[in-house]
Homo-oligomer: A and B are copies of this chain.
Amino acid sequence: MTDQKTVQPRFKRLAADDRAAELVQAGLAVLASGGITAFTIDNICKRAGASRGLIGHHFGGKDGLLAACYAAAYAPWFQMFNAGGTPPDLPDLIYELFTDRQFRRDGLNIWLALWGEIAVNAHLQAEHLRHYQAYETAIRQSVARFAQERSRQVDAANLATALIALLDGLWLELCIAPGLMNTHKARRAVMALLEPHLGPLA
């Protein structure tokens, strides 16, 4: 009979936070590839190599996991736009958003799936609104500072509104018409909005 010591462990115990993070990453991967209808307990556990009971244990259930996925998707943005911090320089921001690393279909598919849920889920929508307002404030301040540095008079609030919508729309286009959208086209579209008001950005 096999020595107990040589038996392969059935699973590896992780710290609670580590396991939760793995499940969130699996959830994001499932959203990226299959959208919100693929976001099921079975799909996520298969992806994470874990058992279905863990979702209830760590998140209280599927809805809690989705909320955690939203928070994880938002975390990089939160760092970038956190109220109280200095908003990024506008050219740096635009540059960064349209690198191949950021302007990627799978990552933006996550947002498209989440938007679909935010539209009909009051709980998620309330949380999104809090983040959105911080984001809008940061973008508006970036625009205002850039204009002021170049002695340009602009309606920063309106330009921020238009910029935010344009960014979201370009993301959406990459998801639903990927062959027709790329970083080059996206950058030029953004410049078409900003440069007449702010002058050259590059």
Interface residues of A, dominant DSSP: helix
Q: Are A119 and B180 neighbours in the complex by a CB distance under 8 Å?
A: no
Residues of B within 8 A of A188 (CB): 155, 158, 161
Q: With an 8 A cutoff between CB atoms, is A76 at the interface?
A: no
Copies of this polypeptide in the complex: 2
Q: With an 8 A cutoff between CB atoms, is A88 at the interface?
A: no
Could you list 21 examples of A-B contacts with CB < 8 Å?
Answer: A35-B120, A36-B37, A37-B37, A37-B120, A38-B120, A115-B175, A115-B176, A119-B175, A136-B180, A158-B189, A161-B188, A165-B172, A166-B166, A166-B169, A167-B169, A169-B170, A169-B172, A172-B172, A192-B193, A196-B196, A196-B197
A-side residues, CB < 8 A to B, are: 33-38, 109, 112-113, 115-120, 125, 128-129, 132-133, 136, 155, 158-159, 161-162, 164-170, 172-173, 175-177, 179-180, 185, 188-190, 192-193, 196-197
